[in-house]
Amino acid sequence: MPYSYLSLYYDTMNVERRYERLLYDTPGFLSALGGSLGLYLGLSVLGAIFGALEAAQGAAKVRRIGKKLTPRKHQNEELI
């Protein structure tokens, strides 16, 4: 005794074929990944370099201001 019965009827006998392909093959994926990482790391390195230059410039500015504010001791004078 069958538990279920299925009948299929088609309107037309046309066949539709669909093909599927990968968007990236392995070398293409690795190239895209490497390019993205290179761009990200390149920008990170540039950010670090410019950050270090900005910090050095700020330290030099503070040092210059600090030298202007400290009184200088001459040969015959005592520090006030």
Q: What are the pLDDT tens digits along the chain (80 aa)?
A: 567 888 888 888 888 899 988 888 888 999 989 888 888 888 788 888 888 888 888 877 766 666 665 556 666 655 55
What DSSP state is assigned to residue 71?
P
Residue 36 lies in a domain: yes
Contact 24, 32 (CB under 8 A): yes
| CB contact at 8 A, 71 and 80 | yes
Q: Is residue 11 part of a domain?
A: no
The token pair at 12 is 């037309």
Q: Is residue 46 part of a domain?
A: yes
CA distance 79 to 34: 62
Domain count, the chain: 1
Query: What pTM value is reported for the model?
Result: 0.39
Range of the domain at 48: 32-68
- 6 in a structural domain: no
Question: Which of 57, 80, 56 has the alpha carbon at shortest distance from 69?
Answer: 80
